[in-house]
A and B are shown apart, each in its own frame.
Chain A
Amino acid sequence: MMKKGGVFIPKGDIPRPLYWSLAVLSFFLLLLLWGGLTYSGVVTPIFLPSPGQVIRDGFLLFTEFNLLQDIGASVFRVTAGFLLAAALAVPLGVLMGSLRVWEAFFEPMLGFIRYIPASAFIPLFILWLGIGESEKIAVIFFGTFFPLTLMIMDVTKNVPQDLIDTAYTLGVSRLGVFRRVILPFSLPGIVDTLRITFGWAWTYLVVAEIVAAGSGLGYMIMQAQRFLKTGYIIFGIVVIGVIGIIIDMSFKLLHARLFPWLGRGRGR
């Protein structure tokens, strides 16, 4: 049902192959621009090395500098901090979204703390927790827990009152409403929120590893800067991006698998 210029109809659908071609095209253009700028010599390699150089640097990082260990350290910190945040934020957010007393007690405080940048707490965390793993995990926890809780609260608030009332008239108790209505209705939104905040966890990871770390991707990037190894920096950034995309895709796949009732549209 597409007319002329049908691709540019606001909110209109486009064929799947076109969608994927455009996605690939954007990466290709970026690569083309990068290659053009570097191979032509317009930009000095010390500021921006060529794609080929970055790949060679990446190979070196894996073989000589044990990059896998850095990746492992970073993934561990992000996962630990994020899981801790999610384990507390999901129940708290659901309670805040469903019970006004919980909202009244927690919302203003969480809203206040959320506006303080997690990085500002790094000195305090070092003082309290030292410079080990717990300090890094604390930064990631601190950066994700507060916005995550508030977002999950909002998701839970969207449960239509009529749906809850219907459940009551079908014999569900007040406690049962959580399991029978609020949770199943909110779950897709919760999984989507987790996907988005997991991305933020990576942002805080790099911040945490730039200060007082001995391993991890953020640490590697900082070291590379010190020795003007621009290729290492770029490769490190690309690795973070690739890990991010893999996690994002897994979340989306999980979303489609878990919630067939939403239809097979792109998650949102």
Chain B
Amino acid sequence: MPGCFPGWAGEGDGKAMAEKLVISGVSKNFIAKKRQVVALADTSFTVAENEFVTLLGPSGCGKSTLLKIIAGLEEPSSGKVLLDGREITGPGRDRGMVFQSYTLFPWLTVRENIEFGLDVAGRSRGEKREVSEHYIQKIGLQGFADAYPRELSGGMTQRVAIARALANDPEVLLMDEPFGALDAQTRAVMQELLLDVWDESHKTIIFVTHDVDEAVFIGDTVYVMTARPGRIKARIPVDLPPQRTFDLKVAPEFLAIKKEILSLIREEAWKAAGASDQQFA
């Protein structure tokens, strides 16, 4: 449906796609300085098999918390997450994760980092080698296979982190602002590289970012989140061709979606500013 602007209400489009991940009434509260803080308000949405979802929101909107709950690293205060119909109770190899901070194991080489998950699973030497070789080629780090993480640049580090997560062949890949610490040029290269890698496997991905361009450029669907308490404000399908290259970022279709999102964010920011004015009045 090119040219049409779908509504941004939370309800799904009713398409008969396989529901990979169901986030149902998930919220997260915590106590800070004897006051209860709602980090994430009642949140529900579904992610289809092979869908590339981006969660877009300002810092402090609970998007990382949501991702950690899906990963099973944090427990929700209410609600549940279903993967292929089964409730998530803890972390597992079926949900790979890439963090913003550099989380390569510094005592392992690039190759050993990529093989880590397979090693944990007890795969044979030959199989590990085959998989790691494939991903080293894929991320263009031939010649760095035996390098240690401290010898890598930020962009290379994140490429290895993505390869490490994918080598483990997870059902879902969770990405928490993986390019957040990179400079603009490297970031743009990494976005294209990620899409290139994704093209091969079409994993289901949830990608958290605060960068509107990034969210629209790489996502099939953008969820816009608001801050304090974090909640999903809108669901925006990105009707752009699947083959995305850098020139898309200045195409009118791209800019139209970007404008729509920006006006949503602006509206929300004004509301937040007004609310806090009232608080201090």
Q: Which residues of A contact B (CB under 8 A)?
A: 160, 162-163, 165-172, 176, 180-181, 184-185, 187, 259-263
Question: Are A259 and B107 interface neighbours, CB within 8 A?
Answer: yes
20 new A-B contacts at CB < 8 Å, known A168-B73, A170-B117: A163-B105, A165-B71, A165-B73, A165-B91, A165-B99, A168-B91, A169-B91, A169-B93, A169-B95, A169-B165, A169-B174, A170-B165, A171-B93, A171-B121, A176-B120, A184-B107, A185-B107, A261-B108, A261-B148, A261-B150
CA distance A160 to B99 in the complex (A): 12
Interface residues of B: mostly helix, strand, loop or mixed?
loop
27 contacts between A and B (CB under 8 A): A160-B101, A162-B103, A163-B103, A165-B68, A165-B71, A165-B73, A165-B91, A166-B99, A168-B73, A168-B91, A169-B71, A169-B73, A169-B97, A169-B165, A169-B174, A170-B93, A170-B116, A170-B117, A170-B164, A170-B165, A170-B168, A171-B93, A185-B106, A185-B107, A259-B107, A261-B150, A263-B148
Given contacts A171-B168, A261-B107, A261-B148, contact A166 B120 (CB under 8 A): no
Given contacts A176-B120, A261-B148, A261-B150, contact A169 B106 (CB under 8 A): no
Decide if B96 is an interface residue (CB 8 Å cutoff). Answer: yes
CA distance A165 to B99 in the complex (A): 9
Count B interface residues, CB 8 Å: 30
Question: Are B107 and A171 interface neighbours, CB within 8 A?
Answer: no
Inter-chain residue pair count (beta carbon < 8 A): 71
CA distance A180 to B113 in the complex (A): 12
Q: Which 7 A-B pairs have the closest CB atoms?
A: A171-B93, A168-B91, A170-B117, A169-B97, A261-B148, A166-B103, A171-B120
Interface centre among A171, A180, A181, A260 (most CB of B within 10 A): A171
Question: Are B150 and A263 interface neighbours, CB within 8 A?
Answer: yes
Q: List chain A residues, Cβ under 8 A from B71.
A: 165, 168-169
Nearest A residue to B164, CB-CB: A170
Nearest B residue to A166, CB-CB: B103
Interface residues of A: mostly helix, strand, loop or mixed?
helix
Q: List chain A residues, Cβ under 8 A from B170.
A: 169
0/1 string, B82-110, CB within 8 A of A gives 1: 00000000111101110101010111100
Contact residues of B between 189 and 245, Cβ < 8 Å to A: none
CA distance A163 to B149 in the complex (A): 13
Q: List chain A residues, Cβ under 8 A from B73.
A: 165, 168-169
Nearest A residue to B117, CB-CB: A170
Cβ of B69 to closest chain A Cβ, rounded Å: 13
Q: List chain B residues, Cβ under 8 A from A165.
A: 68, 71, 73, 91, 97, 99, 103
Interface centre among A160, A165, A167, A262 (most CB of B within 10 A): A165
Nearest B residue to A173, CB-CB: B120
Question: Are B91 and A162 interface neighbours, CB within 8 A?
Answer: no
CA distance A259 to B165 in the complex (A): 25
Q: List chain B residues, Cβ under 8 A from A181.
A: 105
Cβ of B199 to closest chain A Cβ, rounded Å: 23
CA distance A181 to B99 in the complex (A): 16
Question: Are B96 and A169 interface neighbours, CB within 8 A?
Answer: yes
Question: Are B148 and A170 interface neighbours, CB within 8 A?
Answer: no
